[in-house]
Chain A
Amino acid sequence: MKCAIIDYGTGTIQSVHNAISTLGHSVYRSRSDDFDQADVVIFPGQGAFGPAMAALNAMGIRDSLKAYIQSGRPFIGICLGFQLLFDGSDESPGTQGLCVKQGHFKLFSGAGLSVPHMGWNALAAPETPSVLSAFEGHYFYFVHSFYLPVPDTPIPGMVMSNYGGHFISAIATSTQLMVQFHPEKSGESGLQLLELFLKGVA
């Protein structure tokens, strides 16, 4: 399959590139609307919420990316590329995200809680069956300081993890995989998840 990785300059994307390549798929980096020609769009990310949104605006792909995701076409959002799908984050007050999903990210805090949440953490069972069902209890690598609180009304396909309380660590539908952790850095479990998901949307 042909995978486009959105390259908006604030994150390092080589690891994602390597992981997708090693699974036997072709990869190109997109800095314009040409992501539209891919079978799967991958939206990675590291860095801060505000500057990342500014980069998407500057590249002129904010609306086209949003439309792509809303269309339900195959999509993977990773870490900051997960956070940016939502309304906003305490990291960058006043900056609006892509608003594809409803929710606002908050800073981890609590006695004895190291921030950032950095390391390997487990996934609970998904709210509704998905590609993530096979990974209940598996450990994935997380690095982030802001988290998505669990809403009163469950988000379809959401998965929780625990760090000083529950937060949403992933959301999966049949064609879209949105994860707070880094599958490309999560060893065998991570590669298996990517492989299984890509097989499912092929």
Chain B
Amino acid sequence: MITKRIIPCLDIDKGRVVKGTNFINITDAGDPIALATAYADSGADELVFLDITASSDKRVLLMDLVRDIAKAIYIPFTVGGGINNLDMIQAILNLGADKVSLNTAALHNPTLIQDAARHFGSQCIVLAVDVKRCPNGPSGVTPPPALSHLAATTHTLATVYSHGGRTDLGIDALQWIQYAEKLGAGEILLTSMDRDGTRDGYDIDLLTRVKNTVSLPVIASGGAGRLSHITDVLHHVDAALLASLLHFGHLTIPDIKTALTQVALPVRPFPTS
């Protein structure tokens, strides 16, 4: 039986982890390798590194980091943040990353998903989707030309945002995800902007709709505040992405896996030594 995955997400700026300030037993909380190793050793099933560096030397810094991570941990890892062409994807995968996550670039150029899937296989293309519910109907934003067929309607539950959640593109989230599956995306990382940072729990209703719309694995992100949020959401989706809750030491991966076992959800055993 396949297990539910717990995936710590590390935000990286100029080769350093940001926000990871309170992790137990790490003297340098900004060292991505030390943090990644600690998570891998405590039973993380995968890791996501999100590069938020905006500077022009981004690419060099990122490549050095990917090379170092690949030599330090032997579990799968995904790299995301500003990836916008096939050469960059190839370079990241060649250095030992398992997957790349695409977001804004895929929204501006959906054929990137198709090209990347053809070249490298769907299994390494994670589509990250930042969504916000629109209970009062769509905002009326005109979608980018390439996505005009996905324009939000009065039936739209949530719309998709680009540029790290700053820009509403006026497209229907479920339709975008369905379209991306057809183009060759291999996995969906769905972040609820309504819940992100609230600690009120995942948007399970929305995640369930996404899960029922595609046959791809779905990773839940945004809103985890306590153990029950994680056990609840993993009854519906394949994996949970966690950041501050783990980074600040509020929960550990063994805590989470123990709780999942108690509700009879399958997990990969974590090291007990």
Residues of chain A having any CB pair with chain B under 8 Å: 12, 14-15, 18-19, 22, 46-48, 113-122, 139, 141-145, 162-163, 182, 184-188, 190-191
Kindly report which residue of chain B lies nearest to residue A48, judged by CB atoms.
B121
Task: Say whether A119 contacts B3, CB under 8 Å.
Answer: yes
Question: Given A144-B123, A187-B74, list of 18 further CB < 8 A pairs?
Answer: A14-B96, A15-B96, A18-B70, A18-B74, A19-B74, A46-B123, A114-B215, A114-B218, A115-B215, A116-B186, A118-B123, A118-B238, A119-B5, A119-B45, A120-B2, A143-B98, A145-B122, A188-B74
| 5 contacting pairs across A/B (C-beta < 8 A) | A12-B94, A12-B97, A116-B123, A163-B1, A186-B74
Task: Say whether B96 contacts A163, CB under 8 Å.
Answer: no
Residues of chain B with a CB closer than 8 A to A15's CB: 70, 74, 96, 98
Residues of chain A with a CB closer than 8 A to B96's CB: 12, 14-15, 18
Q: Is B144 an interface residue (CB 8 A)?
A: no
Task: Say whether A119 contacts B239, CB under 8 Å.
Answer: yes
Residues of chain B with a CB closer than 8 A to A190's CB: 74
Residues of chain B having any CB pair with chain A under 8 Å: 1-3, 5, 40, 45, 70-71, 74-76, 93-98, 120-124, 186-187, 215-218, 238-239, 268-269, 271
Report the minimal beta-carbon distance from A177 to chain B, rounded to whole angstroms.
17
Residues of chain B with a CB closer than 8 A to A18's CB: 70-71, 74, 96
Residues of chain B with a CB closer than 8 A to A184's CB: 74
Task: Say whether A120 contacts B45, CB under 8 Å.
Answer: yes
Residues of chain A with a CB closer than 8 A to B40's CB: 187
Known contacts A14-B94, A116-B217: does B76 contact A46 (CB below 8 Å)?
no
The B interface is mostly helix, strand or loop, or mixed, namely loop
Residues of chain A with a CB closer than 8 A to B5's CB: 119-120
Q: How far is the CA of A116 from the CA of B238 in the complex (A)?
A: 12
> Of B45, B97, B124, B217, which is within 8 A of A114 by CB?
B217
> Of B74, B120, B216, B217, which is within 8 A of A185 by CB?
B74
Total residue contacts A-B, CB cutoff 8 A: 94
Report the minimal beta-carbon distance from B87 to chain A, rounded to whole angstroms.
14
Known contacts A12-B96, A18-B96, A184-B74: does B120 contact A47 (CB below 8 Å)?
yes
Residues of chain B with a CB closer than 8 A to A48's CB: 121
Task: Say whether B122 contacts A116, CB under 8 Å.
Answer: yes
Q: How far is the CA of A15 from the CA of B268 in the complex (A)?
A: 21
Kindly report which residue of chain A lies nearest to residue B267, judged by CB atoms.
A120
Kindly report which residue of chain A lies nearest to residue B119, judged by CB atoms.
A47
Residues of chain A with a CB closer than 8 A to B2's CB: 117, 119-121, 142, 163
Task: Say whether B76 contacts A122, CB under 8 Å.
Answer: no
> Of B45, B120, B239, B268, which is within 8 A of A46 by CB?
B120
Task: Say whether B95 contacts A14, CB under 8 Å.
Answer: yes
Report the minimal beta-carbon distance from A105 to chain B, rounded to whole angstroms.
15
Q: How far is the CA of A120 from the CA of B76 in the complex (A)?
A: 10
Residues of chain B with a CB closer than 8 A to A163's CB: 1-2
Q: How far is the CA of A48 from the CA of B95 in the complex (A)?
A: 20
Kindly report which residue of chain B lies nearest to residue A109, judged by CB atoms.
B215
Residues of chain B with a CB closer than 8 A to A185's CB: 74-76, 98
Kindly report which residue of chain B lies nearest to residue A122, judged by CB atoms.
B1
Residues of chain B with a CB closer than 8 A to A143's CB: 76, 98, 123
Q: How far is the CA of A182 from the CA of B74 in the complex (A)?
A: 10
Task: Say whether A139 contacts B121, CB under 8 Å.
Answer: no
Task: Say whether A118 contacts B74, CB under 8 Å.
Answer: no
Residues of chain A with a CB closer than 8 A to B269's CB: 139
Residues of chain A with a CB closer than 8 A to B187's CB: 118
Q: How far is the CA of A119 from the CA of B70 in the complex (A)?
A: 18
Report the minimal beta-carbon distance from B245 to chain A, rounded to whole angstroms.
21
Task: Say whether A46 contacts B3, CB under 8 Å.
Answer: no
Q: How far is the CA of A139 from the CA of B44 in the complex (A)?
A: 13
Report the minimal beta-carbon distance from B21 to chain A, rounded to whole angstroms.
26
Residues of chain B with a CB closer than 8 A to A46's CB: 120-121, 123-124
**6 tightest A-B CB contacts, nearest first:** A14-B96, A139-B268, A120-B268, A143-B123, A12-B93, A114-B217
Residue from A14, A19, A190 whose CB has the most chain B CB atoms within 10 Å? A14
Kindly report which residue of chain A lies nearest to residue B40, judged by CB atoms.
A187
